[in-house]
Each structure stands twice: as C-alpha cells, then as structure tokens.
C-alpha cells in the first residue's frame, strides 16, 4: 500500500441471477458450517487435551472435512471464503485470549449475518466488472458512486441482509483521501433527545433537528410485527414473508438514519480542526425507558464512529470529554456549577452572573473549555450530571 494511502470500503447493491444467488447461498451455508465446526474443534481440544489449536491446524482440519462423506459439500464452493473464515476466527480467539473480547460464538442459520469474503485469488475485477469464483457471469452491480481511479479491490465481501437485499463491499486503497489544510477552528458538540446535534458555532450556536425516523414508520412497523407474531413458527413461506416485511421497514429506518448522520459529520470534519464531544455510554443511557426510544433513534454511537473515522481521514482531531463532566449544569460564562437540574428543565438562569442558558447550547459550549482543563471529578458533579 502506498505511503499515506487509506484503506476504504465501498459498498454497493447488486442483483444476482438465479444461478448466482444459489451459489452465494451455498457459500454462506458453508461459511457458517466452518465457522461452527472450527470453534467446536478448538473447544474440544482444550477441554480434553489442554491443547490450543491454531489457524494452521484448523486449515488442515478443513481439508480433512472436505474428504468425508458428510461434509463433502464444502468442496462445492470456493475455498477462499472458507479460509478467510478461519483467519477471522483466529483473530477472534487472539482477541479473546488477550481479554479484549468474548469467546467466539456459534453462527445461527436464521439470525447470523450472511456474508462471504473473497481475496484477490477468489475474484476477477476487470473494466468495472466483478466476477466471483465458481461463477461465469459478472455481478450486476448498481454503481451508486465510482471507485477511486487507478485502484482495484484487495478484498470483496458479499452479503445479504434480513430484508433480502444483496450487497458487495470492496476494500480499496483510496489515494484521493488527503489531510485537509489545518484550520484554527474548534467546535463543541452536544447530542440530545430533542435535537440531533447542538453545535457551539457562532454567537448563538446551531441546532440540527432530530428527524425521528423511527417515529415516521412506527405504526407501520408495529403492524408488521403483529402480523409476524401471529404466524406460527415453522409456518414456512408465510412466516418468512412476514419476517422480511419487518426487516424491510427496519432497513429503511436504518438507511435514513445513516444518511442523516453522514451529512453533518462530513461538514463538521471539513470545517473544524478540533471536534469536542462527550464520552457518553449509550448502553447505560437506554436503560432509561422514557428516553430509550429517542436515544436509539438518534444513533449516537454511529455518529461518534463516523466522526472519528472521517477525522482520521482528513487529519482532524476528536476529543472526548469525561462522561462525568457536568456540561449541562456548568455555566459556560462564569463557570458556576448549579446544584440541581432536572432533565425537564430546558432553559435556566445562572445564579452568579444572571446569564440565561439554553440547556443544550450551554452543554455544547462547555466541552471545548473542558478539553483544555481537568474536568471536575467531584461526587456532586458525578451524581447530578444530566
């Protein structure tokens, strides 16, 4: 890879013909089978012989499995996705033994993601046409955006989501992504249930409305889920059709959320050198059942993820302020900390300087100052922060 080059994945939809769809579904099934056989073999070796099985050993096992009558179908698909599955499994066990992840879990036929990864030996990409191993015809890809010039994919991942849509993701070296010129501009960002984002830009700040995409489809989703719940398990195509209907509605909501987040994150990264956000724990926040729906609809974790990887692309800096920093209760003018502030209070007046604050805008103005000093860690600040 060239110096300073960024690895970037480009994802597109495609429409396979019947032969390609059947081949891919067989490949997904074989990937899932290997992904379950290999951990079981590793677990058995450790439980019976206290032996750790590495990637090379599981690769030898895969060759032996293909020669058995029961698992001979593994030879019917390309070996590249199966070998990639073993490599990813080795990485998962490395993370587990390093105490950075949980023990690898088995893949479910109904619930697990259907995907297969091909390296350069498992596909051919010529003149903008992608042909996978074991296939004669190229995939009919919907090119929503062009690939970077003078680049070819290093890996290709084919997947099918719960809504039945087919996707292909191509990992390429993107030479067009270069650090932007340095700018002496910083912005504080506050996320909340009422507004998607509140920014400390300008004298009056800026608020970006939360579109609440889930609310727009809430009735339709509830109706589809009721229809699914009435279908008996094992009802065959009837239940499968109802499940896909629910999945399509959820996919539409997720797509709109993702599109809504891409636009402000790209703008913020391009316009500001430093971006200051709060280090919030969304997993704990959604335990509040009153706000869980609004918090989930804002996709806070995905917002931060987008902000961080785009900042890395363009040479910007993202600073996460301590989650216990009382940004809402701390006056951004004089620094006075208010004792109590219920979540229902959206506007308040500082007792010391008399400044009237919008709760969200004050929180957006505070993080940038907090990033330059040690945030308060007092018991009062921790217990009363909202």
Interatomic CA distance for residues 24 and 134, integer angstroms: 10
Rg of the Cα atoms in the chain = 25
**Integer CA distances (angstroms), 247 to 32, 129, 139, 165, in order:** 21, 30, 24, 10
What's the Cα-to-Cα distance from 58 to each of 27, 35, 36, 62, 80, rounded to whole Å? Answer: 19, 11, 12, 6, 14
What is the count of structural domains for the chain?
A: 1
Please report, rounded to a whole number, the percentage of residues in the chain having pLDDT higher than 70.
85
pLDDT tens string 237-251 = 888 899 999 999 999
Q: 72: how many CB neighbours lie within 10 A of its CB?
A: 11
112: left (phi over 0), alpha (psi -120 to 50) or beta: beta
Q: How confident is the model at residue 84 (pLDDT cuts 50, 70, 90)?
A: very high
Please tell me which residue in 214, 297, 322, 360 is annotated as part of the active site: 360
- The reply to whether 210 falls in a domain is no
**Residue range 178-186: average pLDDT?**
86
Per the CB < 8 A criterion, the answer to whether 231 and 272 are in contact is no
Which residues are paired to 347 by β-bridges? 358
Domain span at residue 114?
Answer: 6-174
Query: Is position 80 within any domain?
Result: yes
The pLDDT of residue 243: 92
In-domain check, residue 38: yes
Confirm whether 206 is a catalytic residue: no
d(CA 199, CA 286): 23
**How far is residue 145's CA from residue 156's CA, in Å, rounded to a whole number?**
16
Q: Among residues 23, 117, 190, 322, which one is catalytic?
A: 190
Higher pLDDT, 290 or 312: 312
Is residue 104 included in any domain, yes or no?
Answer: yes
Going from the C-alpha of 93 to that of each of 52, 84, 104, 105, 201, the distances in angstroms are 10, 14, 7, 11, 45
| Mean pLDDT, residues 257-282 taken together | 86
In a domain, 355, yes or no: no
Query: DSSP letter at 73?
Result: G
* 16 occurs within a structural domain: yes
Is 190 one of the annotated active-site residues of the chain?
A: yes
Spot the catalytic one: 214, 278, 297, 322: 278
153 domain-assigned:
yes
Nearest to 71, CA basis, from 99, 101, 40, 34? 34
What is d(CA 138, CA 273) in angstroms, rounded to the nearest whole number?
Answer: 43
SS3 content of the chain, % helix, strand, coil (to 5): 45, 20, 40
360 is catalytic: yes
Q: Is residue 76 part of a domain?
A: yes
| Model pLDDT, residue 386 | 36
pTM: 0.81
pLDDT in tens, 3-47: 557 889 999 999 999 999 999 999 999 999 999 999 999 999 989
């Amino acid at each position: 890879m060239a110096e300073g080059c960024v690895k970037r994945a480009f994802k597109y939809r495609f429409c396979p013909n019947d032969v390609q769809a059947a081949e891919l579904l067989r490949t997904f099934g074989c990937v899932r089978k290997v992904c379950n056989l290999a951990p079981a073999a590793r677990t058995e070796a450790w439980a019976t012989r206290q032996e750790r099985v590495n990637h090379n050993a599981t690769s030898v096992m895969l060759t032996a499995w293909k020669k058995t009558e029961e698992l001979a179908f593994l030879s019917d698909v390309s070996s590249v996705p199966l070998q990639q599955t073993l490599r990813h499994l080795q990485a998962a066990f490395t993370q587990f033994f390093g105490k950075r992840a949980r023990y690898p879990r088995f893949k479910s036929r109904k619930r697990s993601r259907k995907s297969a990864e091909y390296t350069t030996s498992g596909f051919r990409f010529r003149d903008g046409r992608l042909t996978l191993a074991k296939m004669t015809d190229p995939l009919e890809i919907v090119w929503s955006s062009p690939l970077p010039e003078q680049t070819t994919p290093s890996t290709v991942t084919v997947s099918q989501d719960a809504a039945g849509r087919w996707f292909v993701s191509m990992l390429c070296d993107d030479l067009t992504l270069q650090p932007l010129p340095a700018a002496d501009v910083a912005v504080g960002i506050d996320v909340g249930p009422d507004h998607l984002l509140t920014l400390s830009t300008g004298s009056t700040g800026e608020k970006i409305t939360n579109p609440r995409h889930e609310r727009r489809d809430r009735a339709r989703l509830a109706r589809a889920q009721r229809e699914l719940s009435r279908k008996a398990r094992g009802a065959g195509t009837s239940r499968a059709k109802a499940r896909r209907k629910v999945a399509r509605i959820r996919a539409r909501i997720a797509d709109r959320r993702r599109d809504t987040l891409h636009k402000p994150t790209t703008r913020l990264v391009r316009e500001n050198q430093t971006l200051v956000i709060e280090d919030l724990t969304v997993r704990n926040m959604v335990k509040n059942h009153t706000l869980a729906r609004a918090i989930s609809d804002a996709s806070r974790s995905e917002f931060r993820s987008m902000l961080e990887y785009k900042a890395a692309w363009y040479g910007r800096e993202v600073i996460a302020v301590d989650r216990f920093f009382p940004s809402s209760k701390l006056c951004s003018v004089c620094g006075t900390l208010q004792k109590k502030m219920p979540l229902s209070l959206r506007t308040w007046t500082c007792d010391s300087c008399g400044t009237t604050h919008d709760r969200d805008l004050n929180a957006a103005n505070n993080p940038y100052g907090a990033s330059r000093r040690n945030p308060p860690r007092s018991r009062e600040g921790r217990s009363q922060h909202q």
